[in-house]
A = this chain, B = another copy of it.
Amino acid sequence: MKLILAIVSSDDGSIVSSELTKAGFSVTKLATTGGFLMSGNTTFLVGTDDEKVDTVIDIVGTYSKKRKQMVPSSASYGVGMCTSFPVEVTVGGATIFVLNVEKFEKL
């Protein structure tokens, strides 16, 4: 039995949570304030059998890994004149810790 602690950006929290649940995993979401990803993030606890750890990591990665995104930006190039253009930013990202569980109880 393993306990997986996954920290994902808040933007990806809902999709990661629902995809893990859909795949049959029990997910507990901890309210995380601030943290090491630029924006807010969400921490999940997932308890699972040893042989399903990689499935959890795959799901978390698929729905939260770092990716480039084009966002609109703008620059002014004169008094009251302004142009809008897309910039590439990196969003998402996940940090995953897998811990060994010595004892597991469901009461």
Contacts and interface: CB of A to CB of B under 8 A. Distances in A.
Interface string A66-107: 100000000000000000000000000111111111111111
Main SS at interface, chain A: strand
Contacts of A53: 103
Interface of A: 1-3, 5, 7, 17, 21, 26-36, 41, 43, 45, 47, 53, 57, 60-61, 64-66, 93-107
Contacts of A93: 106-107
Nearest to A95: B106
Contacts of A35: 27-29
A36 to B, nearest CB: 4
